[in-house]
Each structure stands twice: as structure tokens, then as C-alpha cells.
Amino acid sequence: MAHSVPMTPGEISRRRLLTTGVFGLGGLIGLVYIVAILRYIIPVGKSSSSFEKVGTVSDFQTEVPKRMPLGVTRTNNQPTGGAWVIKHSPTSFTAFDMHCTHLNCPYNWTGGSSPQGVFACPCHGSVFAKDGQVIQGPAFIPLWKRAVTVKNSNVLVGGIIS
């Protein structure tokens, strides 16, 4: 028959230390996962309320996506980002952030100078329709839309709106 031996004060504090360490480490790992998941879902750091001129209305062919750099003036002519801009009419444009919603790779337009094509990401194979909807994963979030407006025939692109 087994009988329990009372623990010494040294054993109790060692056990408490181990328990605290295991729970603390588990909590830290859980926190890292939560931050990573939120970072994946929410495009942190890409939102901006300011608009940048990316060209004039005549720089764009109707319904042909064109990739335009953003942030060029901020860092020695090295753009900090970009957008795929689509002209629907002289007063109606759509802009998508240039980063794939899977893991942020820049994606391409497959149609060249044709209005027919899809957006394809070279990193893991995601494919998006011209309206930004996912055609093929692993991405499951549509392309991030950026604000876009036309003022005095200038096309201005702003931060991510959806």
C-alpha cells in the first residue's frame, strides 16, 4: 500500500515554479499564434487616409488593369507599395492593393494589355478574378480594395477600404 510523503518547502516551490513556467510558456505561445492569425486576416500597416496621384485618366485603358507604384516620393524613388488600377469609365475606377491576401506576395495580371485575364499569385498559386474575388486558393480573402478617386482628370489612390 502506497502512502504519500509530505513535500518539503523546497519541493513545493520547485513544483510551483515548474507549473508557473509551463503555463506561462503555453500562454506566450498562444499569444504569438493569436497575433499571427490577426496579422494574417487584417492587413496591418497598409491603411492610409491620404491619397496619391498614380496618373491621369488617359494613362489607363478601359478595363485593363495597370499596376501603379505608391509611396515613390517617400523613399528615394523606391516605391513602398502599389495598386492594380482598373478604369471602368473616365470617372469610375477600381484599385486593389498589389499584395496577395494569402501571404502578401505581389501578384500579376495574366491578360497583358487585354481586358481578359485573372490576377495570379506566383508564390502559392492563388488566383483572383478581375473583381478581386478568389477563384482558387490557398487565399480565401478577396483582394484588398483601395480607395480611388478622380479629381481634375488625375487618378488618386488611397488606403485600403475593404
Residue 37: Cβ within 10 Å count: 10
Rounded to the nearest whole angstrom, what is the least distance from the CB of residue 125 to ligand FES in the complex? Answer: 6
Among 17, 138, 149, 161, binds ligand FES (CB under 6 A): 138
Rounded to the nearest whole angstrom, what is the least distance from the CB of residue 142 to ligand FES in the complex? Answer: 13
Distance CA 58, CA 114 (A): 16
Q: Which is nearer to ligand FES, 7 or 42 (CB)?
A: 42
Sequence-distant (6+) residues with CB within 8 A of 37 are none
Rounded to the nearest whole angstrom, what is the least distance from the CB of residue 36 to ligand FES in the complex? Answer: 15
Q: Which helix (H) or strand (E) holds 154?
A: strand 154-160
Q: Does 139 bind ligand FES (CB under 6 A)?
A: yes
118 to 61, 83, 134: CA distances (angstroms): 16, 15, 10
Q: Which is nearer to ligand FES, 99 or 146 (CB)?
A: 99
Tell me the per-residue interface mask from 86 to 125 with ligand FES, x by CB under 6 A, - otherwise.
Answer: --------------x-xx-x---------------x-xxx
Q: Does 129 bind ligand FES (CB under 6 A)?
A: no
**Cell matching residue 93:** 475606377
Distance CA 23, CA 46 (A): 35
The residues binding ligand FES (CB under 6 A) are 100, 102-103, 105, 121, 123-126, 138-139
